[in-house]
Amino acid sequence: MGATVYTDVRIYSIDLGEPLESCDLLENSIALILLAKTYEKNCYPHIPSWNFLFIGTEAELQNNMLPDMVDLFDDGISQGPIAKNGKALGKYLSNKLKQQNPIIVEDLHKAGYIGFSYSELMFNRLADKEGYGGIRTLVEDRYCHLIKSDRDIKKLVKGVMDIRKAGEGKWWHGNPWKAREYEIEKLAV
């Protein structure tokens, strides 16, 4: 089994204009979006690509995602030039968190996210299903949405939060896939 190699991480924020968690003592409408540039060590050639690592609140990041990632780096399951071990990863992400910028559509497009898609199971957990196009693949039905505006980014973030609340609540649940080229072509028609 190979390790996931992290070559870069970018942290963005977006103000959803409404509280994210009903149980937080302080109302917070800011969501974080972490994109990670990774490749699998046992797959060749090594071509890093951007993917969502985490979408959620800063509290979820600090309390759930970071401890898991620290363990993965300490165990060697995750590794890379960004950090030698879990402690170094914590410091790296803490510095990145201080440098966060508000996300814009172009940031996601540069990372290859022209659109995003969910499996039928994940799609059924969304509160807001409006604006998605259904695509039949060889394996499954997927539901895609193009990213054209800040409203689409907010839809993406709220969708991740809906899926996480409706499922097991793990910090990695709900992260959508990149919409594939043929999916985008079908949606653009």
The whole-number pLDDT of residue 170 equals 84
The whole-number pLDDT of residue 35 equals 97
Strands 4-15, 101-102: pairing is parallel
The whole-number pLDDT of residue 23 equals 53
Q: For the CA atoms of the chain, what is the radius of gyration?
A: 17
Q: Exposed/middle/buried for 129, CB within 10 Å: 0-12, 13-18, 19+?
A: middle
> Can you tell me the mean pLDDT for 89-104?
94
CA distance 112 to 103: 14
Better pLDDT: 113 or 23: 113
113 phi and psi angles, rounded to 5 deg: -95, 80
The whole-number pLDDT of residue 97 equals 93
> Can you tell me the mean pLDDT for 139-163?
90
pLDDT in tens, 97-142: 999 999 999 999 999 999 999 988 899 989 888 888 877 776 788 8
The whole-number pLDDT of residue 12 equals 97
pLDDT at 69 over 90: yes
Task: Identify the weakest region by mean pLDDT among 84-93, 97-106, 157-166.
Answer: 157-166
CA distance 142 to 134: 6
pLDDT in tens, 28-48: 889 999 999 999 999 999 999
Better pLDDT: 91 or 1: 91
Strands 78-79, 101-102: pairing is unpaired
Identify the H or E element spanning 157.
helix 150-166
> Can you tell me the mean pLDDT for 180-184?
73
